[in-house]
Amino acid sequence: MTNDVSHAGGFYLTKPVFFIGFMGAGKTSVSQQLAVTYGLASIDADEYLELREDRIIADIFAEDGEEGFRDIETDVLRDLASRSPRLIGCGGGVVTKRPENTTIMRDAGFVVYLKVSADEAARRIPNTDSRPMFKNLDTARKTIVERQPFYEKAAHVEVETEGRTIREVAEEVASILQNEGIMVKE
Ligand code: S3P
């Protein structure tokens, strides 16, 4: 992420904004860019989950399996959905295994689907060791196809990230949120 952002500052959110999409779509980076530029609160759901559990995700998968991780993920999502509105970067599988997660997000807030291809995601993630679900490019290509309908069903809007900078994507999201009356000047 670049540091030469212009600070538009002084905005607030009327409801939580959830970023969904495959690993490497830019959910964390785009929400951080928006937070810095517009003075909004943001949080990465997986980082919050790791802090709460005092364990890294790779260890949670190794110790409790994917099911164990998904239980914690739903609990964290409920927790974040009930707090004061902020930008929330979600894990890539959040809407794909637990239908209730889609309900939690759509009931509480606005859901932005950041779209990316598996090939572009692989280029953006130099080290996939911390992402147990990435495995390899072939698997990632299949997983994206399987997940696509879930992302689309959960999303209020879809934003293409392929070949675009974090700042370009963030600006598109900012104008969507302002048009929707979700991001408001103080
Ligand atoms: C996962 C994506 C990861 C993390 C976990 C599972 C997935 O988050 O939640 O490793 O199933 O796609 P990111 O999308 O932030 O990498």
pLDDT in tens, 75-129: 999 999 999 999 999 999 999 999 999 999 999 999 999 999 999 999 999 888 8
What does 125-158 look like in DSSP terms, one character per residue? -S-GGG-TTT--HHHHHHHHHHHHHHHHHH-SEE
Q: Which of 100, 91, 110 is nearest to 16 (CA)?
A: 110
The pTM score is 0.94
Q: According to the model, what pLDDT value does residue 135 have?
A: 84
- Domains of the chain are 11-185 (3.40.50.300)
Q: Is the CB of 133 under 6 A from ligand 1?
A: yes
Q: Is the CB of 57 under 6 A from ligand 1?
A: yes
Q: Which of 164, 127, 122 is nearest to 141 (CA)?
A: 122
Q: Give the three-state DSSP class for 12.
A: strand
Q: According to the model, what pLDDT value does residue 129 have?
A: 84
Atom of ligand 1 nearest to the CA of 90: 15
Confidence band for 7, pLDDT divided at 50, 70 and 90? low
Question: How far, in Å, from the CA of 4 to the mean position of ligand 1?
Answer: 29
> Closest Cα to atom 8, ligand 1: which residue?
91
Q: According to the model, what pLDDT value does residue 1 have?
A: 38
Question: Rounded CA gap, 172 and 108, in Å?
Answer: 22
